[in-house]
Each structure stands twice: as structure tokens, then as C-alpha cells.
Amino acid sequence: MPVISGLTDALLVKSFHRGLTDKAIAEEFGISVQAVSKRRMKLGLVRKPISRKVNEGLAARWSIWAPKEGTGHHNAYSAKALKVWLRMRLGDATLSAEQKNLALQWEGRLRDRETVLCYDPNRSEGWYYRPRTERDGRLVIDWPGDLPFPSEEFKRALELPPA
């Protein structure tokens, strides 16, 4: 007899796109990691190493609001653009032409407006831009000076390339 966990296909897809690991999803719904993995694979949701690296790196900086039901901040344009741009910077060969275009346009706007992306879960839209300061250097997001980066590779990926 199957265990009723409350994990619908829609919730699994949403959790996957929020960047949650199979283990985190399993713990949240009280089921085994294997059960999550099997359903995820059946739905065609394949983990990509670079996407995982992006999600884990951003999780070191922010806990992005994403409710179980409805739309959270993880689906906002700025969040999507940042993630695609980071995937491009980390060498993701699976990006579509449309995704590459989105990433390059987003980078261009940051340069033209001399801004960095910030996140505040208490704001209704969550994401906002503020003027770039000397402290930001070439980073595209607001990163506190006392917070270590997940890796040197991720830190370099967060930097605007020379113009």
C-alpha cells in the first residue's frame, strides 16, 4: 500500500526548480530519497551539475522565498536571469540561444545602469537593484564582506567579465 505523503507531481516539479535536493524533498514530505529520485526521473527532471552548483552557491547567500503553493520569488525575472547568467559563466553548454540572449541582455543592463542585484524576502517583489558601490567591485549581486564564498570558482562566476 503506497504511503500518502502529500508530494504531488506539481510540488515535486516546483521543489526541483527551487533547487531542493532529493534529500531535502524527502525530509520535507517524510518519504525516502529513492522514492523522490524515482518520481523525479519518471517526470523527466534531470539534475544538471552546473544548475546544482548555481543553486547551492546562491543558497549560501540567500534563502529565496518559495511557498509550497503559488508563485514565490524564485520565479521572478531577476532570479531567472541571474541563474541563467551564472550557468553561462560556469560554462553550461546546455543553454539555449534564448537563454544565452537573456543572460547577455541582463549583463548589459547591469553594466549600463551600474547596478547590482539584491534580494529582500520582506519586499513583495523580493528582488531589486541598487547602485553599484566601490565595495561591490565587479560582483553582480550584493554579497556581504563577512560572508565567505562557496568556492573561488563561484566567486569568479559572480563577477562581471571585463568589458
Q: Which amino acid is at 44?
A: G
Please indicate, yes or no, if residue 137 is contained in any of the structural domains. Answer: yes
Using CA of residue 50, residue 88, residue 10, residue 125, what is the dihedral sign?
positive
Task: Classify 162 as helix, strand or coil.
Answer: coil
The C-alpha atoms of residue 62 and residue 52 are separated, in whole angstroms, by 15
Phi, psi of 154 (to 5 degrees): -70, -40
Number of folded domains that form the chain? 2
Let me know whether 115 and 61 are in one domain: yes
Let me know whether 61 and 133 are in one domain: yes
Task: Classify 163 as helix, strand or coil.
Answer: coil
The C-alpha atoms of residue 98 and residue 77 are separated, in whole angstroms, by 14
Residue 25: Cβ within 10 Å count: 23
| Whole-number pLDDT of residue 1 | 36
Let me know whether 15 and 43 are in one domain: yes
Task: Classify 80 as helix, strand or coil.
Answer: helix
In this predicted model, what pLDDT tens digit does every residue of 13-38 receive, in sequence order? 888 877 788 888 999 899 999 999 89
Let me know whether 103 and 122 are in one domain: yes
The C-alpha atoms of residue 129 and residue 142 are separated, in whole angstroms, by 9
Provide the whole-model pTM: 0.71
Domain hosting 100: range is 49-157
Let me know whether 56 and 129 are in one domain: yes
Let me know whether 22 and 56 are in one domain: no
* Per-residue pLDDT band at 73 (split at 50, 70, 90): low
